[in-house]
Amino acid sequence: MDNMPWLTLLMVVPLAGSIAVAALPSRSSALARPVALGVALLTLVIGVVAAATSFTRGSDQQFQMVEQHEWIPQLGVSYSLGVDGIALSLILMALVLMPICLLAAWDDVPEGGGREKGYFALLLLLLPFMVGVFAATDVFLFYVFFEAMLIPVYFLIGMYGGERRQAAAVKFLLFSLAGGLIMLVGVIALYLQGPGGSDGFLLERLTGLDIGGSTERWLFVAFFIAFAIKAPMWPVHTWLPDAATAARPAVATLLVGVLDKVGTFGMIRFCLQLFPEASRWATPVVITLAVISVLYGAILAIGQRDMMRLIAFTSISHFGFIVMGIFAFTSVSQAGSNLYMVNHGFATAALFLIAGMLVARRGSKRIDDYGGWQRATPVLAGSFLVAGLATLSLPGLSTFVSEFLVIAGTWSRYPVATAFAVWGVVLAAIYILLMYKRIFTGPPPILETDEGGGPALSSDMESSVMVSSDTDRDYLSADLDEERRPLRLTAPLRDLGLREKLVVAPILAILIGLGFFPQPVLETLNPAVERTLQIVGATDTTPSVPADAGSTSGSDH
């Protein structure tokens, strides 16, 4: 089993599945959904088997499950793959989320035919790119996967999204291409600084180069800008709210929950490892930008009336915490940031997907168009509440552990920045609880029983609504009175069905499970965290102890 090319297999299987789905004949287009789901589940099984049989936690090796072959030797490019604990955790997160998102997207294209095949083929096509970008240990190969991800996302937003989908897709593409082109200049310049040869882009050959102060700093800036756009950080974040709002919930989940982690992962893998001196030099600016992202994202989330846009702004705030922990350069903050990437992926998936279920019933993303749903849909309301509490890092849920580690680890080195950033926790409680209050509490919806029924949606509103099936259109003949209380319906609201429960249950189970027992993931991450800190030359701070208190204590952790 040790010689099995697991990482290549994790890319080939979904790639072949995507081609198979796209090649289905038109009369068999209904098979697109089960085939895509089956391929995603098979890929998940392969990933779990690979992690269980070929990855050793606590190993001294930097990368495991290594595959290396010549690709374009004239340019120094190798097909080189390998994972450490950080990459493996993010790959497994992507593998778990993909079948969940496919199940959530089951009725996203009710018209069927070629559009349905194309939609599920593009979703499945994301999976090999997600595996490749986290597993690449050749800098140029990483860049190839980094840019290749843009293609399916662009079409998923531009062809299958909601209102303003084309503008959102173009904005996403322009921001991402701009960052990618800047990084490409840095990749080429880095190669010219290295030893060259047929494998001159290998990460291990480029690590530890004596590049020189100003050159190393410029290269750091080139890589960091691309990763900051992808992350996204303030002030290069503006593409995310538009893209997440226009995209289908399943696409928004994969975009924010997985693909955007490439930004923070890239900061660890490339910025810190290849440019350690420049990383220390840039730390004050990066920490400042991270704190601004935390507060900016949280404050703007409070004022949003579109629930999808609100969730997007919460992610900007959370990515600020992740970046802050990365550049605090303590083992506690780094472990917290890496765990945060995993936990945020599941928490934001729960919020986006459950919000999508709300939109399918009500036909509107506006928070003001809801109210009193807690009594009509108790399971839906309870699921949303757990997802929201995870987003605000309630103790007992997974995100609390990671956010606490980030704050505690950063405080030991940057207490002023931490004191500002911690207000993001307070603001998170405001935007989550206010959203829950506006959607689920208040007078319950009134079911009209008279022959005339309740007031219908305006034709303009109905035409702009994304619905997942003809059945859901029954629920669109609802509106609010002029005070928007209470909601009047001509058909009863339905609670979560079996398929929707299968979507929500595993995510909530993970949020609760990692909240009480995060140790397996931390044990997987810690060796990579320690190795990164060694490369950067950072050590944990030692707490000061009064002279009369006896011997000094050890490190923070």
Q: Residue 34's pLDDT is what?
A: 92
CA gap 28, 30 in Å, rounded: 5
Q: Residue 496's pLDDT is what?
A: 85
305 near 366, Cβ under 8 Å? yes
* Nearest partner of 230 among 316, 289, 306, judged by Cα: 316
DSSP code string of 191-221: HHHS--STTTTBHHHHTT----HHHHHHHHH
Q: Which residues contact 291 (CB under 8 A, 6 or more apart)?
A: 320, 324, 417, 420, 421
Q: Which residues contact 254 (CB under 8 A, 6 or more apart)?
A: 94, 97, 98, 101, 123, 126, 130
Q: In the beta sheet, which residues pair with residue 489?
A: 447
Q: What is the pTM of this model?
A: 0.85
The torsion angles phi and psi of 227, rounded to 5 degrees, stand at -75, -35
Q: Residue 412's pLDDT is what?
A: 87
CA gap 397, 246 in Å, rounded: 29
Q: Counting Cβ atoms within 10 Å, is residue 133 exposed (0-12), middle (13-18) or buried (19+)?
A: buried
Q: Residue 206's pLDDT is what?
A: 84
Local confidence pLDDT in tens for the 557 residues of the chain: 567 898 999 999 999 999 999 888 877 778 888 999 999 999 999 999 999 998 888 777 888 888 988 888 888 888 999 999 999 999 999 999 999 999 999 888 877 677 888 899 999 999 999 999 999 999 999 999 999 999 999 999 988 888 888 888 999 899 999 998 999 999 888 888 877 777 788 888 888 777 777 888 999 999 999 999 988 888 888 888 889 888 899 999 999 989 889 999 999 999 998 888 888 899 999 999 999 999 999 999 998 888 999 999 999 999 999 999 999 988 899 999 999 999 999 999 999 999 999 888 888 888 888 888 888 888 999 999 999 999 888 898 988 999 999 999 999 889 999 999 999 999 999 999 999 998 888 777 666 554 444 443 333 333 333 333 333 333 333 333 334 455 666 566 788 889 999 999 999 999 999 999 988 898 888 888 888 888 887 777 654 444 454 444 444 44
* Nearest partner of 156 among 107, 125, 108, 119, judged by Cα: 119
> For residue 513, what are the CA distances in angstroms to 92, 238, 358, 398?
16, 34, 26, 7
DSSP code string of 217-238: HHHHHHHHHHHHHHTT-TTS-T
CA gap 42, 46 in Å, rounded: 6
Q: Residue 481's pLDDT is what?
A: 37
Q: Which residues contact 277 (CB under 8 A, 6 or more apart)?
A: 213, 216
Q: Residue 461's pLDDT is what?
A: 34
How many C-beta atoms lie closer than 10 Å to residue 459's C-beta? 8
